[in-house]
Amino acid sequence: MPRPATGAGTSQRRRGLAGFAAIAFALFVITSTACVGNLSPGGGWASPVPAGGWIYQASRNGQLFRMGARTGEVDQSWHYPQGKPFGVIYGTPLVTEKAVYAAAYTCRGDQCNAKVFAIDVDTALPVWSEQAFGVDTEIVGPLALHGNTLLFGTSNIGRDKTPGGFLYAIDATPDADKPLAERVGNRLKWRLPVDGKVWGGVTVDGDVAYFGAMDRTVYAVNVSDSIPAAADPARERVLWRFTSNGAIVSKPVVFGDKVYVGDFDGKLYSLDIRSRKGDSTSKTLDQGREWVYEAGAWVWSQPLIHDGVIFFGTLGGQVHAVDPASGRSAWPSPVKLEGEIIGRPEIVRGPGGQLLAVPSNKEDVWLLDLRSGQQIGEFVTRAGVAASPVSREGFVFIHTLDDKLQTFAVSSRARVNCIETVDRKACS
Amino acid sequence: MEFVGILWTEIIMRPMINSIALLHVLLFDSLGLSIIAFTFVISLLMLPLTIRQTRQMRAMSELQPKVKALQEKYGKNGDRRKLSQETMGLYKQAGVSPIGCLGPMFIQMPVWIGLYQAIFKAVPPTPEGLASLSKAFYSWNPAQASVPLSSSFVGMDLVGLVSTQPIPYNFLLPVLVGVSMWVQQKITTMPSPDPKQHQTNQMMLWMMPIMFAFFAFQFPAGLAVYILFSNLIRIGIQFLMTEPGKRGTLFRLRTTAPQPAVAAATAGRGTSEGDKEKSIDGDATVHGQDGSRGHRPRARHSRAQTRRSRNRRR
């Protein structure tokens, strides 16, 4: 009969079991974090939108509401959706005279579903006969409108990795109050497949839409309705393509006959709209008309053009001012802030003149002198800011990453109002 | 806690993310090849520890008859303290650390957790993740221009969970992880003359692979690929560390349970060296594996050490 093990034998077994338990625990930690996951979006960073005396805001959990721009009071009768939100909203809502358009998405595991919806600007009721236009993908960038065509970029659809993304064009026509026969049967007009995810916004100038994708390409696309919807968009609509050295998430900005866009290779490009055609790369820039500016860190923020200067921030925390004609720095040196700059800078008009307000996703919105870049002060938000601040009539509206809509008086830089966007109540 | 977070980021996360991204660029923009190459690099870095662990396990195994003899001697009296002292003395003389065998296993754990996080961070599925990725890159790393890294590999999405991969990867990957782990455990677990220890080893031999295969369903496919190749590499290392003539015995399926009589025969200091030699060899014969693991010179060395110290005590 074997004797019961004692001493060393037992301790050896204990070691074995301890090792087993430690590995089981590690596996549990790994899998439990996988389940709750990094796969799901954490919450959007939509900017406030001023329109018709209201500030429209999408909360990080996907609720749309509005607040009086002067009164700071939330219109409790106006919010959407009434029930469960469609998901998180990253892109700033698009507000027109009649409707508010927005896109939300949610993910379960690696399966994402996006919904594009339109609601009445007065009643917050859906203006489309269907509740929303759904696609199995992510929509991160803001929507753009051309006539009655709503344009937006997406990631790949479902689990198909190719194509990497799409530019969607859907019919924005309100039809909720129309008879059945007059309703929009198929809201999809056309979609352009591209090789990378389209997480930046689409900029429309005339009949041309400009957008960048993570395939490192800037696309110029004819979005005119004169081209039949059935035409192959890759052949019939793409006017030119420009391949840079890094992924493009920054929303392009058009100024004069140039389009300006930043990339993840830390560069800002100036591309000539008039002379461009076909496919080209960063190595074939027209040196006489175009330039490339070295920003030194990834560019996510959309550039702002004000008073003949381009302002933009990088994920390295630098703020740059660039002369659009020469592509050279307009400041003695870039300004370094803490955190990453994702949102577009904004011009703030105060009693002392104009200042550049730059959001930092670490904390606060920083105020810089337009001419020198010198730091003048800040709006103390006590939370990160990834959305662009919005300035109106002496106030600055800031959507912070702790999901508050904060209002600051430009003159005193003091916070004068704060709304918890989840429950639309005053901040506690 | 913030300090721990910084340490984790700087020592584990950033080097991992940068290595994976750099290997991705060097290896044809393939995250799969990058993870496999990364596994080789990690295995190479851990090679000294792995070799040490294997030697320690062999030495431990060779000491088992002596441990058993001590158990027989002091177990009868219930003198656990003395038994523990003598056993530790025995380990010390042979230059064996009982916890030394666990080293590589504990080092692997932060690598698993780190790699799990590194895969998600290197191929971020969310906008927040993409925005924070810029901080993770070293400024000199040319791979940052290649973001976003492609996560496709032979029909799999390495960032997606194994359970969501297309057929047959969704079940093949956990099975391969389990089987490779079983083989790896099988050839590295040293037999023990203690029946209860033997039983524990047998339980671990089956439980660990089953548990890993089960959990692998919820791993990102990239992590499962890492564990699979990590197992294959350790099997290869074990194979290479075994004397060529004895490699065939590594993969023998059947192991016989230890015979208590063998251990009993070794009991007591009064036993002659010749008997001890026989008993150790006998033990090896019974288990069918001890002999195959070789390392006789080391065993003899440790026996000689024991003899010398005994003489000193006398």
Nearest to B65 by CA among B278, B242, B255, B256: B278
The least confident of A81-90, A381-390, B243-252 is B243-252
- Residue A104, SS3? strand
A29 contacts in B (CB within 8 Å)? 113
8 A C-beta contact, residue A138 and residue A152: no
pLDDT digits (tens, 9 = 90+) for B26-46: 999 999 999 999 989 888 888
Residues in chain B: 314
C-beta atoms of A39 and B125 within 8 A: yes
Q: What is the distance between the alpha carbons of residues A361 and A363, in angstroms, rounded to a whole number?
A: 6
- Which of residues A423 and A39 earns the better pLDDT score? A423
Report chain A residues whose CB lies below 8 A from the CB of B68: 9
Residue A120, in any domain of the structure: yes
Q: CATH number for the domain including A150? A: 2.40.128.630
Distance between start and end Cα atoms, chain B: 54
Return mean pLDDT, chain A: 90
Please check the confidence at residue B270 and state whether its pLDDT lies above 90. Answer: no
Locus of tokens 């005590």: B313
Q: Structural domain boundaries of chain B?
A: 2-307
Please judge whether B131 and A316 are an interchain contact, meaning their C-beta atoms are less than 8 angstroms apart: no
| Cβ distance of B125 and A107 shorter than 8 Å | yes
- Name the nearest CA neighbour of A267 among B129, B145, B150, B21: B145
With CB atoms and an 8 Å threshold, state whether B80 touches A12. no
Quick one: which of A156, A189, A172 has its CA closest to A94? A172
What is the pLDDT averaged over residues B108-122? 80
Count contacts between A and B (CB, < 8 Å). Answer: 165
- Please give the mean pLDDT across all residues of chain B: 75
Cα of B274 vs its chain's centroid, Å: 34
Residues of B within 8 A of A31 (CB-CB) are: 215, 218-219
Contact B163, B223 (CB under 8 A): no
ipTM exceeding 0.90?
no
Q: Long-range contacts: A111-116, Cβ < 8 Å, 24+?
A: A111/A136, A111/A158, A111/A159, A111/B164, A112/A136, A112/A137, A112/A138, A112/A155, A113/A87, A113/A137, A114/A87, A114/A138, A114/A139, A114/A154, A115/A86, A115/A87, A116/A143, A116/A150, A116/A152, A116/A170
- Which of A179-188, A248-257, B92-101 has the lowest average pLDDT? B92-101
* Domain count across chain A: 1
Q: What is the pTM of this model?
A: 0.80
Inter-chain residue contact B113 with A12, CB threshold 8 Å: no
pLDDT (tens digit, 9 = 90+) per residue, A214-225?
A: 999 999 999 999
Closest-CA residue of chain B to A338? B135
The verdict on residue A163 lying in a domain is: yes
A251 vs B159, higher pLDDT: A251
- Quote the domain boundaries for residue A130: 87-294
CB contact under 8 A, A264 and B135: no
**What pairs with residue B148 in β-bridges?**
none
- CB nearest A340 (choices: B67, B102, B134): B134
| Residue B207 contacts A, CB cutoff 8 Å | yes
